[in-house]
Structure 1
Amino acid sequence: MNLQGTIVAFLVSQSSWGLLYIVGSTSIIRNPLVMLAAGVIFIPGFAILLRKLLPSVYEDNLGTHKRNWFFYMCCLFSWSCVIDLVLCLESLGYIDGYMDFYLESGEPYFITSFGIYINMWDAVIHYILYLTIIYKYDNKQDYRSYGIYWLGSMLAGMFVLTIGAIVGSYGNDLHPAMFLNIPYIILPFCALVYLLRLPRDENSPVQEYPPAELRSKSIGAFDILVILGLIASTVIGFVRGLASLGSPFPMIVHYVKEYEPYLSDPTKFGALHCLFNFVYCLPAQVMLIYALVKGGGKWADDLSTILSGAMAQGVFFHALAAISSLTPLEFRVVSNVEFFLVLNALIVLVSHFAMFRLKQKKNEHLKFQ
C-alpha cells in the first residue's frame, strides 16, 4: 500500500490555512489586480511544489510507477478544496480574517447561499474524490469511475457558477479574480478526454448466465421502477427548464410561484442549474432509458456515471440554497419544503440507481460481448 501521494497531497492542501491567514493580513492583497497576480503565482507555484515532492517516476515494492498530469491536477485541485472550505466557513461566520478580502473584491457571489453550498460540496465531496483518485493512482488501482463521477459534478458546478456570475445580479460586480477559474474550466474538459480513453477495469466479478437466461434478465422489476423514475425526473426537468427560460405558460408560472420561487432569484444560479439539466441532463436521461430497455453497454455506464455526479452536486447546492435563510424571503422556498426536498432527493437517487443498474448490466453482458 502506497500512501506517499495521498499524504503529501493532504499536507500540502492543509498549508492553505497558514498561507491564507498571512496573505489576508496584508492590505495590498485587497487590490483586485494584486489578488489576480497572487493567484497566478500561487496556482503554478503549488503545482511546481507538488511536482518536486512527488516525482513523476518512482519505484516501490510494486515496481516502477509514472505519474502524469492528471495525477498532479488532482493534487493541485485538492489544495483548492481547502481554500473553498475556508471560503465556506468565513461566509458562514465560523472564522474571520482569512478570506474576507476575497469575498469583497474577488468573487463576492460566494457569500450567497449558492456560493456557500457549492464551496461546501467542493471542500468535502471533491476533496474525498481527489484523495481517493490519488491513492488509487499510486497503487495501480482503477480510478476511472471515480474520475468520471467527479467530472459530472465539476462540469455541472462550473457551468452554473461561471455563467451565473456573468448573467446574474453579480454581473455588474465582477473582478479580475474571476479569471482564476479558467484552469478549473479547461482542465476538466481535458480530463474528460483522458478518462474516457483510459482502459476500463474488466477485472471486477462478472456474473455468468447462459444466453437465454441473460435475455430473460434484461428487464426486471427494478429496471421498470428505475425507468419510471427517470421518466418522472425528465418531466420535472422539462418543467423546470421551461421555468428557467421564463415561460409565461400558466402551469409554469404557478409552479414557480407555489413550489420553486428560487428560480426567479436575480442571481440566476437556480435558473441556470435547471437550464443545465434541461439542455444536458434530459437528453442523457432519455438515452439511459433506452439503455435500460435495449441494453447500452459501456457507453451507458460512463453516461450514467457522469449524470449521477452532475445530479448529485447540482441538486445539493440548488435544493439547500432554495431553502436557505440567506436567500431573500421572496425567492425562498418556505411552503411545501418537505415536498421540495423529497422531490430533489428522489431525482438524485434515481440517477444513482440507474448508474448502479447499468453497471450491473454491463458486467452481466461482459462475457457475451
Structure 2
Amino acid sequence: METLVFLFSFTAIGVLYAMNTIPEFQEPYVILGIGVAVLVVVFLFYFLITRGNRPKDLLFFVFAEFCFTCVIDLISALEYDGIISGFMEFYQKTGEPYLGTSYAIMMCYWDGIAHFVMYLMMISKITDRKAYRSLGLVWAGSLCANMSVFICGIVAGKYGSEVRPAFWLNFLFLLMPVWGAVTLFTRPKDRPLIGGYNAQQAQSMKLIWRPMDLVLVLLLLAAMTFTILRGLVALDSPLEACAIYLKHYEPYLKDPVGFPRVMMLHFLFYGLPLLGAFVYGLLRPGCTWMADWTVFFAGAMIQCQWSHIGGSLHSRTTAPFRIPHDVFWSVLAANLLYAVTPILVAMRVRNNPYFFLKISYFPGQTGLPNSEEKDTKYKDK
C-alpha cells in the first residue's frame, strides 16, 4: 500500500502544472475551491481502493492525504530556490506569497522530505498491523509545531495584510495533527508501565550516580536559560543582555516576516514548562509520562530548529538579519545543541526506561529483593 501511496502522491505535480498553465485556475477563490476539491478527490480515491480491506486506523487516510500535499510543498520549496520552474508561479502570486520567505521554504523542505518519509513508514506499519505510536508522536509534535508557528507567523508578521483565501486550508493541517496527537496519546502504550527488580535498582540511585542523567539535567537547564533569553528578546525586553544578543548574535529573531518571533514565544510559553517537567522527570522516579512527552517534544523541537536555523542562513533572508560572521559557529553550535537536547532526553527514556516505570512490589516486600533476577514485568511487545 505504501508503494501505491508514494506513486499516487506524485500526481500532484500534474495538478500544479495544469493550474499553472490555465489562467482561469489562478484566481484566489478558484485556488481555494480547487484545493478543497483535490483534497476531497484524494480522500475518495483512497477510500474506494481500500473498500475491500478497510484500514481500522482512520489515521491511515490522514497520512495518505498528507503524502499528496508533501509533494506540493517540496515542489514549492524547489521552485522558490530556483531549482525547478513552471509549477508554482501562480501560487506565488495569488495563493500564499509568504511561502517565499526563508522560513517557509525550509518548512516546506521538512514537510516534503521528513514528513513524507514518516507518512510512508506509518502507512506501512498500519498495513502490516504493527504499532507506530512513538513515530506517530514524533510526527504529531513536528506538524503541530510547524503549523502553529506558521499560521500565527502569517497573521502577526508583515504578511498579515496579504492573507488570501488559500490561507484557510492551513487550518486543516493544524487540526489533523492535533486530533492525531490526542488519538495517539490515549492509545495503549507500546510498552508496559510496570517494572520489577531492574526498575527498583535504577530508581534507588541518586542523580550523582547517574552521570548521563546529570549531563541531561544540565543540558536541560541550559536550554531553559536559552529559551528565556530568546523569549525575552521576542517580547522586546529592555534588558541589556537581550539587546546585546539581538544585535550581535541572532538579529534574525526580529525579521519582520514574524516567524522567528512567534517561534520564540512558542518555546517560551509551551517549551519552557516542558523542559522544566523533563528536569523533574529525571529527578523523580516513576514519571511514566516521560516516555510520550519527550518523544512528542523532540519532534516539535527538531522541526522548529530546522526551519529556524535554515531560515537564518537562507539567501532569501536579508543580510542585516543573518547571523554575523564573527559569531557564526558559536550561534550555530548553540542552536544545534538546543535542538539535540530533547532528542537525547527522548532516547535516554526509550533506551533505558526503568527509572521511569512504576514499581510492582511483592506482598510484604521491603527494599530490594535479596537476589537479582531478570525483570520479567518489563518486556517489549
The one of 312, 324, 334 equivalent to 1:322 is 312
Considering only aligned residues, what root-mean-square deviation do their CA atoms show, in Å?
1.9
Structure 1 match to 2:25: 29
Q: Residue 84 of structure 1 contacts residue 120 of structure 1 at CA under 8 Å; is this kept in 2? A: yes
| Residues 327 and 210 (structure 1), Cα distance of their counterparts in 2 relative to 1, 3 Å cut | closer
Matched position secondary structure for 2:289? helix
Q: Residue 323 of structure 1 contacts residue 334 of structure 1 at CA under 8 Å; is this kept in 2? A: no
Q: Distance in 1 between matches of 2:42 and 2:317?
A: 35
Deviation at 1:364, TM superposition (A): 5.6
CA offsets, 1:166-194, max 9 Å, x none? 11001111110101112111111111111
Segment of structure 1 superposing worse, 66-75 or 345-354: 66-75
Deviation at 1:28, TM superposition (A): 1.1
Matched position secondary structure for 1:348? helix
Q: Distance in 2 between matches of 1:51 and 1:363?
A: 42
The one of 93, 117, 130 equivalent to 1:104 is 93
Higher relative contact order (CA 8 A, sep 6+): 2
| Residues 129 and 19 (structure 1), Cα distance of their counterparts in 2 relative to 1, 3 Å cut | same
Structure 2 match to 1:242: 232
1:156 to 2:152 alignment:
no
Q: Counterpart amino acid of 1:120?
A: Y
Q: Distance in 2 between matches of 1:155 and 1:366?
A: 28
Deviation at 1:368, TM superposition (A): 3.0
Matched position secondary structure for 1:298? coil
CA offsets, 1:199-254, max 9 Å, x none? 111289x8962734552277510100011000000000000001111112111011
The TM-score, its normalising length taken from structure 2, stands at 0.89
Deviation at 1:66, TM superposition (A): 3.5
Q: Residue 112 of structure 1 contacts residue 327 of structure 1 at CA under 8 Å; is this kept in 2? A: yes
Q: Distance in 1 between matches of 2:222 and 2:205?
A: 26
Q: Distance in 2 between matches of 1:15 and 1:316?
A: 28
1:115 to 2:111 alignment:
no
Q: Distance in 2 between matches of 1:35 and 1:66?
A: 31
Q: Residue 208 of structure 1 contacts residue 364 of structure 1 at CA under 8 Å; is this kept in 2? A: no
Structure 2 match to 1:61: none
What number of residue pairs does the alignment pair up? 357
| Residues 325 and 217 (structure 1), Cα distance of their counterparts in 2 relative to 1, 3 Å cut | same
Q: Residue 133 of structure 1 contacts residue 143 of structure 1 at CA under 8 Å; is this kept in 2? A: yes
Structure 1 match to 2:210: 220
Matched position secondary structure for 1:283? helix
Structure 2 match to 1:199: 188
Q: Counterpart amino acid of 2:309?
A: A
Q: Counterpart amino acid of 1:35?
A: I
Deviation at 1:13, TM superposition (A): 0.7
Segment of structure 1 superposing worse, 212-221 or 107-116: 212-221
Structure 2 match to 1:230: 220
Q: Distance in 1 between matches of 2:248 and 2:264?
A: 17
Structure 2 match to 1:188: 177
1:346 to 2:337 alignment:
yes
Q: Residue 297 of structure 1 contacts residue 361 of structure 1 at CA under 8 Å; is this kept in 2? A: no
Q: Which runs of 5+ in 1 are unaligned?
A: 59-64
Q: Residue 231 of structure 2 contacts residue 268 of structure 2 at CA under 8 Å; is this kept in 1? A: yes
The TM-score, its normalising length taken from structure 1, stands at 0.92
Deviation at 1:334, TM superposition (A): 2.5
Q: Residue 106 of structure 1 contacts residue 175 of structure 1 at CA under 8 Å; is this kept in 2? A: yes
Q: Distance in 1 between matches of 2:144 and 2:335?
A: 19
Q: Residue 297 of structure 1 contacts residue 362 of structure 1 at CA under 8 Å; is this kept in 2? A: no
Q: Counterpart amino acid of 1:202?
A: R
Q: Distance in 2 between matches of 1:191 and 1:114?
A: 25
The one of 152, 157, 160 equivalent to 1:171 is 160
Q: Distance in 2 between matches of 1:264 and 1:213?
A: 45
The one of 283, 288, 296 equivalent to 1:306 is 296
| Residues 303 and 48 (structure 1), Cα distance of their counterparts in 2 relative to 1, 3 Å cut | same
The one of 172, 182, 198 equivalent to 1:209 is 198
Q: Counterpart amino acid of 1:77?
A: F
Q: Which runs of 5+ in 2 are unaligned?
A: 361-381
Matches of residues 18-97 of structure 1 in structure 2 within 5 Å?
Answer: 18-55=14-51, 58=53, 66-97=55-86
Matched position secondary structure for 2:307? helix
Q: Counterpart amino acid of 1:130?
A: Y
Q: Distance in 2 between matches of 1:181 and 1:210?
A: 44
Structure 1 match to 2:370: none
Query: Which structure: larger Rg?
Result: 2
Structure 2 match to 1:62: none
Q: Distance in 2 between matches of 1:248 and 1:345?
A: 27
